[in-house]
A and B are shown apart, each in its own frame.
Chain A
Amino acid sequence: MSITITIDGKKFTAEKGETILRVAERNGISIPTLCFSEKVAKNTSCFVCVVKDLKTGRFVPSCAMEAADGMEIASEAPEVRDMRLTALNLILSEHRGDCEAPCTIACPAHAQVEEYVRAGRKGDFLEALKIIKQRIPLPLSIGRVCPRFCEKDCRRNVVDKEAVAINDFKRLAADLHYDTYLEELPPLSEKKVAIIGAGPAGLSVAYFLRLHGIASDLYDKMPAAGGMIRYGIPEYRLPKAILDREISHFTKMGGISFFFNKEVGKDLSLDDLKKNYDAVAVTVGSWKSSAAGVEGEDLAVGGIQFLEKIARAGWKGDNPGKTIVIGGGNTAMDCLRTSVRLGSKDVTCFYRRTEAEMPAEKIEIHEAKEEGVKFEFLVAPVKLRRENGRLVLTSQRMQLGEPDASGRRKPIPIPGSEFDTVADTVIAAIGQKTVVPPGVKTTKWGDVEVNKDDCRMEGAVFAAGDCVSGPATVVEAVAGGRRTALAIVAHFAGAPFKEPYLLNVSRGKWQSLAKDDLVFLKEPPERKRTPQRLIPLKERTTTFKEVAFTFTPDEIKKEGERCIECSCTAKGDCLLKKHSEGYGAKPEAIVGEKPNFGYDTRHPEIILDRGKCIKCGICVKVCSEVVNQNLLGFKFRGFATRIDTAFSRPLPSPLCRDCGKCIEECPVGALDWKAKK
């Protein structure tokens, strides 16, 4: 007798004894499952594979329910999908682990940090570079100037309060192999994109378009490529000879051309570019120094303009004399330290809050102090005037009040605290603004307005980098450039572009974690962070020579031992991740207690991480029914249920022959090989 069933309105024939899941799969209907395996008897634990039996109104696990003649099944109906989503959300609500390492999540470009650190630890620096360049096309520069978002979230901090020196892996890998490594490049299509601005964002757009076989022309108002990293970042942090090496690779890739001294709005028009190219990317950056709103501020020089002038002169210039730099960001630090190198013996930073609130990198502040820079905190400018050929800056003292929108305590002037300071040069480095090409729509902050999903301004015009986000970092510009390139690729393919949802379960930031909250594949070795070697202080204050050395391969290999490898061993084949992403399930959708049942690494090859276990028991069944051993079992009941060995002893050898059958069937990373691929 043949069996006919209906799934989502379509009729299918089924064999006797065939489950709904099998019938569906055979006919190309995909039903998510976590705890199902054909190798063992019916399991029915996860309930992610539920379907609705329309005749009885019951929700049944399709992996176990056998097809019966005349059955009518709903699999994609909203209420069925909602049940699956809820099941996934419930599982995620108790799932303890980290899909990705926190460093990778913290990296704006989502470079696979743990992976390139592992390659570096093994001494395979070419492999490390390949991984880095999947997301970061400017590793020579970023390896030097990145503010290291990754390190701020590095879990090594839980062990000894010092992050792994991650960015140094990038720098060494690039120093060693950047000039010789050439990506696999697809042939060029007929499409061509105009990119306005050859800074980090524009270069990133060009790079990722080229990886997709799309050529581009980069137009820049300056005489050379690099944008802010050439004209805004001082030579002593990023030598321009190294930048030239980095840029030359783009030409080498073929299909990327540069046109310098071309400013849109002056030398060429956006309309012409729109006409002559298949798409346009606006990556013009944020080049205008913000106004301080202070009387006489025309007498001061803008921070970025100050740096640009010195850069254009090849990092040479007159001694600025007694210098005051107003501002507490990285540009302010660059101006201060550049002034020192130009010969000034009296360089002071004026900042309106305290050192704790300064947005500049701590290392920059520290090195500036080493180089003799003085700091005046809780001071704000009031008036600038010229007197007897010198500048007189009137400032007033501040005190900190309630936190403002940025979460930092707001500085409030102390009445009557005004004082004058005489200086030869006053630099206002209090921020930068975007200047958009004529005809471009802006936000209320003056940045380019784009659709957040696909980076599109209008039609085939896209934008990325500082001009969209406001002044930010090189790695953020590069990340935005990649997104825009992918959006342009999707645009050419006629497909909508939205970044795919990636599930990330996280144990949390290291600040809130203790050692017991983490899982260590092996006991992390005791080793302090490798110190950064610098050139002698005398050279730092008198020349523009690069301050920091690249780590040696040996130093990097040892530093790599400090990585505790936070990401999930199963991130490549985790079914919970796959289906959660498919159904939009989120770890924060349902919040509640996440029990800590610990983990077991006593087996030499295998880790049992109970925090990730979804308690489906497929491993118990596989060991019992397929391997004919009973080495795993359930313990406790209800929410406290967990998988364990008999009497919590290590998996007994030789009964456990490391066959890995349980690992193969584990839908998540609860049972896995310790060694990561």
Chain B
Amino acid sequence: MTAIRRINIGVSSCGIAAGASETAAFLKKETNNIPIVEVGCIGHCYAEPLVEVVTENGSVFYEKVMPKKEHLDRILGLKEQGRLVMRAQRTEREKIKVLALAGRIAMTSLDEYLAHGGYEGLKKALTMKPADIVEEVKTSGLRGRGGGGFPTGLKWGFLAAKQAPEKVLICNADEGDPGAFMDRSLMESVPHQVLEGMLIGAWATGATKLFIYCRAEYPLAIKNLKIAIEQIYANKLNNLNGRTVEFKLKEGAGAFVCGEETAMIHSLEGKRGTPRFRPPYPTDSGFLGYPTAINNVETFGNIPLILREGGATFATLGTAGSKGTKLFALAGDVKYPGLAEVPMGVTIGDIVYEIGGADRNAVKAVQIGGPSGGCIPAEKFDAVVDYDSLKSLGAIMGSGGLIVIGKNRCMVETARYFLEFTTRESCGKCTFCRIGTKRMLERLEKITSGKGTDEDVAFLADLGPKIIKGSLCGLGQTAPNPVISTLRYFRHEYDAHTKEGTCPALQCNALSDVSVDKERCVKCGLCVKTCPVKAISGDFVVDNAICTRCNSCIEVCPKKAISRVEKGKGFYGTNGGAR
């Protein structure tokens, strides 16, 4: 029988949400002599709780492992049932580099990190002149992974050139885009990799203060980072050729705008998190006036690799303008949501269809870059993932949120959803962003509620670009993107709402009815029991005068006999809500 060396169980946030803590406790209790190791995320979040059984002959993965005897038997017996199949479509397209150790080593084990080449990059860096490291990063072609895409080597060069009593390096871990979790996963799974990147940065730039600005909503990342920092101190890994640096971990209070660098600096200084006019850029005057550079978690996560393999090797992967790999948080209407690491230059279609397993006939678009990004229609899925090509399509690379939008989703509603987020998260400083986003949101609400006119659409098209031009920071400068890009590719959906009074996706409540297909209905009565407002009669007719369009009946119907139909095509009872 094949010997089991250890069992890894993913207990990063995605795993915990699926019940991995209970599974881990169960495994520990029910097994003897087999190490049960709590690891991070390997990216296949759809399969959580996910267990890797490491044997002398390699690994076997089991998905959706619950604290059940039956599941334990499968694992220990290396049974076929319950195995996670690593689909070739996915493995062929992914290029796991930054995440190589994620989910493979114990999250907070320095020893395991060291055993897998951890801190080799730092060791090498400390033998180099700081200026040479900056050059190495420039050679790698690494660009900021937080969304802006500014060349990291260039930024480090600015900071390195400054003469100042203190210099500051900040790790931006305020990942706030809805649907984005790349940074969280990296920090939880391999906190040392991020910290190693920062230490290399500190040596390269001469930074004396190291901040990690992490959103408070990431308690596990914070916990793991704190443990890792203590391990660094204990092993004096923060001694940079005789100069000792310390980390300060600051928990953000939940403002999306604090992911913007000047707002983040204000927040670190104890001020209200609002951006300020640049110049001066933070590398000239940042935290408390000191030269400051801010890099994203994933950017720092790339640094040890660049040092280990060399900038030139790193740059062999990717496109002319975008090097290396990129992490994407894949969500929405896909079969396999999770985290994917792909080389720059793969097509969007590769990510959506091959990695995400989305149905080619059911996808309408993707939203790339979260609320700051734009949507790209399925017809353009041949476009490659690269900072510049995405921009030309009206989207942005952003931090890596990638939300797949099915044909059953209304694009006006999608735009409204994202704009609602940015409107709420605007800091309120700039007129265009504070009031303009609100005014756009009001018009979108008007359109989705069936009261919109052509004038409202024209208003959106006029004001959107002005908000971009008239805002100080990235939030306002990108907030209208979801509206502008949906107007660009899905204008017909807006027009259907305003001119014809219909929602083509039948998603907008005010523009659709609910109806039961008599042919399919088996009169099981589940819908009648489920309906919270008693809108479905005993003979299975939905009274749309009462129905709140909550979709409960549609979801509960075992025969898919209930569906949305165009407004006016459903039945309306004469006595309306009187019942």
**Interface residues, chain A, CB within 8 Å of chain B?**
42, 44-48, 50, 58-59, 61, 64-66, 82-83, 86-87, 90-91, 93-94, 590, 592-593, 614-615, 617, 633-634, 636-641
Contact = CB atoms under 8 A, between A and B. Distances in A.
B435 interface: yes
Contact of A90 (B425, B428, B432): B432
A65 B280 CA distance: 10
A59 B472 CA distance: 10
Contact of B469 (A46, A59, A639): A59
A86 B435 contact: no
A42 B276 contact: yes
Interface in B461-513: 463, 466, 469-472
Nearest to B438: A639
A86 B463 contact: yes
Contacts of B430: 44-45, 47
Contacts of B472: 44, 61
B15 interface: no
Interface centre among B255, B424, B430, B442 (most CB of A within 10 A): B430
A543 to B, nearest CB: 62
Given A83-B470, A593-B442, A638 B431 contact: no
A639 B434 contact: yes
8 contacts: A45-B430, A47-B470, A50-B469, A87-B470, A592-B438, A617-B429, A634-B272, A637-B428
A90 B439 contact: yes
Contact of A638 (B277, B425, B432, B466): B425
Contact of B277 (A64, A83, A91, A641): A64
On chain B, which size bracket covers the interface? 20 to 34
Contacts, number: 92
Closest CB pairs A-B (n = 5): A641-B428, A638-B426, A64-B277, A90-B435, A639-B438
A93 B440 CA distance: 13
A48 B430 CA distance: 10
A44 B426 contact: no
Contacts of A93: 435, 439
B441 to A, nearest CB: 9
Interface centre among A47, A66, A87 (most CB of B within 10 A): A47
A633 B272 CA distance: 9
A64 B472 CA distance: 11
A45 B276 contact: no
A118 B548 CA distance: 56
A519 B476 CA distance: 33
Contacts of B276: 42, 44
Given A44-B276, A83-B470, A640-B428, A615 B439 contact: no
B424 A638 contact: yes
Interface centre among A82, A83, A93, A592 (most CB of B within 10 A): A592
A66 B423 CA distance: 30
B291 interface: no
Contact of B432 (A47, A615, A637, A641): A47
A592 B439 contact: yes
B438 A636 contact: no
A50 B426 contact: no
A636 B428 CA distance: 8
A638 B428 contact: yes
A61 B427 contact: no
Contacts of A86: 432, 463, 466, 470
A614 B428 contact: no
B431 A90 contact: yes
B428 A634 contact: yes
Contacts of A66: 279
A58 B423 CA distance: 23
A31 to B, nearest CB: 15
Contacts of A593: 438, 442
A531 B2 CA distance: 106
B103 interface: no
B439 A638 contact: no
Contacts of A61: 277, 472
A592 B442 contact: yes
A107 B255 CA distance: 49
B337 interface: no
Interface in B155-173: none
A638 B470 contact: no
A46 B277 CA distance: 12
